[in-house]
Amino acid sequence: MALYSETVMDHFRNPRNVGVIENADGVGQVGNAKCGDIMKIYLKVEDETIKDVKFETFGCGSAIASSSMATEMIKGKTVDEALTLTNKAVAQALEGLPPHKMHCSVLAEEAIKAAVEDYRNRKTGMK
Ligand code: FES
């Protein structure tokens, strides 16, 4: 069996939502201490709904595929819904990741949570 599913390879070769959002409403950056990879997520939010989302990932192929899939999964959702996205759901949508690559999908979950937290902090004037 191939190590990576077709879906992983597709999102790795042709990642969706790559880039930066100028004047984003929330930005989250997380790093993986083990491998040193970094993921950054930008959110554009209107009426608590994620109108646009972009990512930059300085990391492995699984991290790129995970960010691509995760951004697709939260686009058009409310920020509350985005917070419920788990790395397991991302990996499942990718039709699985090898066990030693599951931690790469954790970055996507954490970066989204950090971006939503940043959005909420800005909204409440804490930043
Ligand atoms: Fe670092 Fe995948 S090996 S995120």
Q: Which residues are tagged catalytic? A: 35, 104
Integer Cα distance of 57 and 68 in angstroms:
10
What is the CA(36)–ligand 1 centre distance, in A?
8
Which residue is closest in CA terms to ligand 1's atom 4? 104
Query: Taking the mean position of all CA atoms in its chain, how far away is CA 63?
Result: 9
Q: What is the mean pLDDT of residues 45-61?
A: 97
Q: H or E stretch including 42?
A: strand 38-46
**pLDDT score of 1:** 56
125 versus 18: the higher-pLDDT residue is 18
Query: What residues line ligand 1, using a CB cutoff of 6 Å?
Result: 32, 35, 37, 59-60, 62-63, 104, 107
**pLDDT score of 127:** 58
Q: To test the ligand 1 pocket, which listed residue (3, 68, 104) has its Cβ within 8 A of the most ligand atoms?
A: 104
Token pair for 125: 């004037």
DSSP 14: S
Token pair for 103: 């931690």
- Is residue 109 within 8 A of residue 88, CB to CB? The reply is no
pTM > 0.85 = yes
Integer Cα distance of 116 and 118 in angstroms:
5
**pLDDT score of 33:** 84
Q: Is the confidence at residue 75, as pLDDT, over 60?
A: yes
Integer Cα distance of 77 and 63 in angstroms:
22
